[in-house]
Amino acid sequence: MAAALEHRLVRAASCKLLQKTPSRVRSGSGSVRRSPSVALLSPFALAVWTFSSPLAQDGPLHQGSNPRPHRCQCQASQVYRYARSTQLFSLPKKSNHQGRRQFQRLRNIKQLGTSYYVWPGASHNRFEHCLGVACLARKLLTAIRSRQPELGLTDRDVDLVEIAGLCHDLGHGPWSHVWDAMFMPSVLPDRPWKHEEGSEMMFDFLVKDNNIDIEDADVKLIKDLIAGERRHCDPSEKQFLFDIVANKKNGLDVDKFDYFLRDSRAIGEEIKISLSLLFSSARVIDNEICYDVKHCNLIYEIYNTRFRLHKLVYNHKTAKAIEYMIIDALKLAQNEGGMKIAERVFDPESMCTLTDELMSLIEYMSITDPKLKPAADMFQRIKQRKLYKQVDFKTIQWAERQLFEQNVTREKIVEAAKLNYNKHMDDRKYGTDKADDKEEGFELEDPENLEVDDVIISLSPMHYGMGPENPVDHVKFYSRQSLNQSRSAQLGDYSILMPPFFGEISLRVYTKKPEYYYNVQAGYRAVVQELREKQGQEVRSDLSVPTPPLTPLAPTTGPRSSSGGLRRTASASLNENPWTTVKAGFQPPGTPSPKKRKASVGEEDAPEAKRRS
């Protein structure tokens, strides 16, 4: 009775139909429990209160033919409307996990990781994201269930998919993907670990630690739904359920739908994706979720949005630099500091306290433990914006990644940087150096102390969702004329203006020591020059735009890739980037002035030799 009363109060407040709410609500046991004035709470605070209130957990949640309370439609922006719908009402009793410590830790893990240092407004966390994914999972499956009752979807199916959406990120470590994709492989290369595995481990621990009464078959299905593939669950489970939270067929899942909208709004560049329109056309054909072909352009824009966010936000040059600094700080704490923080991911009890607050913990412990001082100093550099510097950047073709990984290495860059310095000193000694090549007021730094570990080569794949392929080719569509037949959309069915490539590699070169900025850039370019000569490439240094011909050119023809784009026979990836070129001796602003280098033997005579020549 108390739970039903509270649901009515929350519903009325969110719809702005309630002007005053008693501050005291009587529970079913007769005791009086105080609750805040619902009418004065913001929708988000109202949602948190509903989740944390003991009243929301009392009484049966399934009454009569309506298994869940009616969801009111609040008048708000799209990003928060669906999130509020989830938060306003309690989840099914078996999925009431959001108050557990295994789930609450996600409040302290930022969704965007290090991108928060570039966009301070993007402070949302994994807790909010998981609530949104759970909401969208229920909305999508409920929409399919209402239109296709012949599928036999049950309340159990809907509830378990919602739980999978709620718990799919339980295994994320500090700073999200920085932990599992970068830190863990660097310190424990022989013990592979992914956050999906951590989510399954934490879900098992959540069930055991809180004595949750749930069938073993349900647990297996939830973990397979999180993984996005059938592994341990009963073979009779519906196949299309595995494409809702983590879709490995084409990447269209509610996880991405939520963070596309949530992240773009947080950075101030809100995108518009009509999920209600997309969900209204979702239909299961041959055990696969298909969409109306008239929404093909909308789906293409979703994939394009993914590429834009990865290129402009998730792989921002400053965010990447901070990622590498955090990794170095964690490695210092792991090895020199003796904290052994990487091993904590294998202990669910210890994992409950492993969040972004690890930075503050290391800084606090460094006060009494000098072994942690280097790690704490690295964190201070991040806060003071004394970051690693990007010295060069290039976008390379997808197929050339292996070529660069094998031939453009840190060892070769350091070796080339030292050879370039020696050549520069020889030219200066004999008066053959070019004055125009040296930045005025700077002295070329001796890279004698430049080490391999001071150079970073970042190769980040950027794509629309399916690597170098057009992801729309992996989506099945239907038409109103044939509701039970699905097929792939062809290029002319939705557009012919397609990019020639759907994937690329972003190559960035960083230096940890800004005084070696020019040295590292010169070394990198020398290595690429050698590779270019080896590959028989020619440098195009002329950036002038050719005059258009008086008569139009014939349409370009040539071999096409599987995605419909023209294959390029020559690559510009090995050419130098003219926009990042600096003069010899350049150092970024704020770099400490290099110490006066003592002239080598015979160097004093260089000006006189140059005058005589």
> pLDDT tens digits for 460-490?
999 999 999 999 999 999 999 999 999 999 8
Gap between the Cα atoms of 576 and 317, Å rounded: 18
The pTM of the full predicted model, rounded to 2 decimals, is 0.77
Residue 579 DSSP class: T
Token pair of 52 as six digits: 């944390």
What is the structure's pLDDT at 144? 97
What is the structure's pLDDT at 607? 44
CB-based contact 55:114 (threshold 8 Å): no
- CA-nearest of 152, 351, 342, 131 to 237 is 152
What is the structure's pLDDT at 86? 37
What is the structure's pLDDT at 489? 93
Give the type of residue at 157.
D
What is the structure's pLDDT at 329? 97
Q: Which of 195, 295, 424, 463 is catalytic?
A: 195
Neighbour-count burial of 426, counting CB atoms closer than 10 A to its CB (0-12 exposed, 13-18 middle, 19+ buried): exposed
Enumerate residue ranges in the chain where pLDDT < 50.
Answer: 1-3, 5-95, 441, 537-570, 596-613
- CA-nearest of 589, 284, 246, 304 to 463 is 304
What is the structure's pLDDT at 442? 55
What is the structure's pLDDT at 60? 30
177 is annotated as an active-site residue: no
Length of the chain: 613
What is the DSSP secondary-structure string of 103-118?
HHGGGGSBTTGGGGGT
pLDDT single digits (tens) 75-85: 333 333 344 33
In the chain, the domains with their CATH numbers are: 1-77 (no CATH), 78-180+192-316 (1.10.3210.10), 391-464+502-538+569-613 (no CATH)
What is the structure's pLDDT at 321? 97
Gap between the Cα atoms of 276 and 270, Å rounded: 17
Token pair of 24 as six digits: 């005291």
Gap between the Cα atoms of 464 and 308, Å rounded: 9
What is the structure's pLDDT at 570? 44
Give the helix/strand (H/E) hosting 362.
Answer: helix 358-365
CB-based contact 559:566 (threshold 8 Å): yes
Gap between the Cα atoms of 82 and 76, Å rounded: 9
What is the structure's pLDDT at 293? 95
- CA-nearest of 103, 133, 131 to 205 is 103
Token pair of 309 as six digits: 């966010």
Phi, psi for 288 (deg, rounded to 5): -140, 140
What is the structure's pLDDT at 272? 87
Instruction: Give the three-class secondary structure for 19.
Output: coil
- How many Cβ atoms from other residues are within 10 Å of residue 222's Cβ? 29
- How many Cβ atoms from other residues are within 10 Å of residue 579's Cβ? 8
